[in-house]
Amino acid sequence: MRILFVTSEAFPFAATGGLGDVSGALPKALRNRRHAVRVVMPLHGVIDRQYRDMMKLTSIFYVPVGWRNQYCGVFECALNNVKYYFLDNEYYFKRGGLYGFQDDAERFAFFSRAVLEMLKRVDFEPQIIHVNDWQTALVPVYLNLYYRHIPKFYGIKTLTTIHNIQYQGKFDLSITEDIFGVERAKTGIIEYNGGVNLLKGAITQSDRVSTVSPSYAGEILDPWFSHGLDSLLGENKSKLRGILNGIDTIVYDPETDSSIAANYNTKDFKNKALCKRELLKEFSFDNDGEPVIGIVSRLVAHKGFDLIYNILEYILLSGLKVVMLGAGDYLYENSFSDFAARYPDRFGLKLGYIPELARKIYAGSDMYLMPSKSEPCGLSQMLALRYGSVPIVRETGGLKDTVSDSGDGKGNGFTFKSYNAQDMLDACLRAKAAYESPDVWKTLVERAMRCDNSWKSASGGYIELYEEMLNLW
C-alpha cells in the first residue's frame, strides 16, 4: 500500500509528546512490513542542524491561504528507510516551539493546504492519506472541497487519528473565509456549536476515524470523555476504530540502553538491582530494600495528580519510596516541592523533563504509578513494562488495554477502577505486599518484561484498517 502520513511533529526531528513518538515509529514499522509510506511535516525552526544538513530542497510553489498566496519550499530526506517531506515557510514555522502561538489557525491551515499542493508536484501517489489531530484536520476537508476533481486525487482514502480528543482546533467563526478559505456556503463542514471546530471537519470528511486504543474509542462516545463531541462521534460511530499504539523496542531496550546503570533482559534481570541502587543515589535515598514507585509525567490534573497529592503521605508512611520527574501546573509543582522538603529521604522530585533520568526511573523503580483520569493510550506504562517496573494504573483508555491486575495470577500489574484516592492507595499496598514475596515478584517482573507492545505488533491494526478503507467504493 502507498500511505502518506501527515503530522505536525515526528521524532527525532521535532517532538513534544506521544504524537511525535507515534509519527516517528509507526511509519518505520509500516515500511519494515514493505509498505510504501512517506511522512510530511512542517520544517520547524527547532529541528537540529544535524537533520537539516540531511535535507535537500526539491520544489518551490505558492499555497492559497484565504485570500493570500504564501511561499512553500519542499525539503526531502530519508531516515530509517522512510522518506520525509518538510514544508518550509519561515514566517509560519521558524519559531522557538511547535504550538501555542496566536496564529496557530493560519499556520496549520497553510500546512494542510500545502500538503495537497505538494502532492501535485512529487513522484508519489498515495492510496491513503493518514492525518493526525487537529493540526492536520483540514487535509481531508480541503481534499474534498478543492482537489477531488484532479485525477491524481480521485481515489485517495483518508484516515484521521485522534490522539487526544481534548484538543480539537477550536477558533472563532469569523476567520472561516479569511484564514481557512472555506466559503460561507460550506462553513457547516467545520462549524460546531457556534464556532470553528477543525476536528469536527476531519471526522465528517474522512473515510475512517481512529483513536489510539480500543477502550478510548469507546470512552469518547461518552460525554464524560468526549469534550463535547460525543453526539457527533455517535453519528459517525460506524467510521470509528480503536488501535493501540506501540513503543519503539529498539530505542527503548534495557539490554542495550546506555542511559541506565547496567543492562539486563527478560532472561536475566539481576542488574535491575544495580539500576535501582543508582536511582536511589540520584535522589540521595538509603538503599534499605524498600520498594520504589516511579512517576514520569506532566504534572496536570487529568494525569491523576490530585489523587497522588491527597494520598502521598499515606504512601510514604506505608514503607514505599516515590521518585517523580515532571513539570506542569504551578500548584502541583509547588505542592510536591513541599513534600520533597518534608520527606527528603522518601520522596524525590525533579522538575522538568530529563530523558536520561526518565529512563533511569523506568529501569530503577520497582513499580510505576499512572492513576490518570483519562489516558487515550499512554506510552509510559508500556515503557515501564519493558524495563520491568510493574505498573499501578487506573483502568481507563490505553491503560486498561495494556495493564491487567495480577490478582488472578496472570496479570502484569495492579489496577483500580474508580477515580478514588483510597482505591489507588489500595492498589499501591497490594503491589507492596507482592514485592515482599520475592518469588511472586520475580515472576511478575518477568511477566511484565515479556509483554509485546512493539510497533511491529501494533502496526498490524493499521494495516488491517488501511485494507478495509481501500475496499470502500
Residue 457 near residue 246, CB atoms below 8 Å: yes
Torsion of CA 98, 101, 107, 112, to 10 degrees: 60
Give Cβ neighbours of residue 17 (< 8 Å, ≥ 6 apart): none
149: buried, middle or exposed (CB in 10 Å: 19+, 13-18, 0-12)?
A: exposed
Homologous superfamily assigned to 2-246+456-470: Glycogen Phosphorylase B; (3.40.50.2000)
Query: Identity (one letter) of the amino acid at 221?
Result: L
Fold of 272-452: Rossmann fold (3.40.50)
> DSSP character for 299?
B
Condensed to tens digits (0 to 9), the pLDDT of residues 237-288 reads 999 999 999 998 988 999 999 999 999 999 999 999 999 999 999 999 999 9
Residue 88 near residue 70, CB atoms below 8 Å: no
Looking up cell 515532571 gives 326
The pLDDT assigned to 232 comes to 97
Condensed to tens digits (0 to 9), the pLDDT of residues 372-425 reads 999 999 999 999 999 999 999 999 999 999 999 998 889 999 999 999 999 999
Task: Kindly report whether the global pTM for this prediction surpasses the value 0.85.
Answer: yes
Query: Identity (one letter) of the amino acid at 385?
Result: L
Query: Identity (one letter) of the amino acid at 198?
Result: L
User: Where are the domain boundaries for CATH 3.40.50.2000 in the chain?
Assistant: 2-246+456-470, 272-452
Residue 25 near residue 246, CB atoms below 8 Å: yes
Condensed to tens digits (0 to 9), the pLDDT of residues 289-317 reads 999 999 999 999 999 999 999 999 999 99
Residue whose C-alpha is closest to residue 425's, from 298, 338, 309: 309
Q: What is the mean pLDDT of the chain?
A: 96
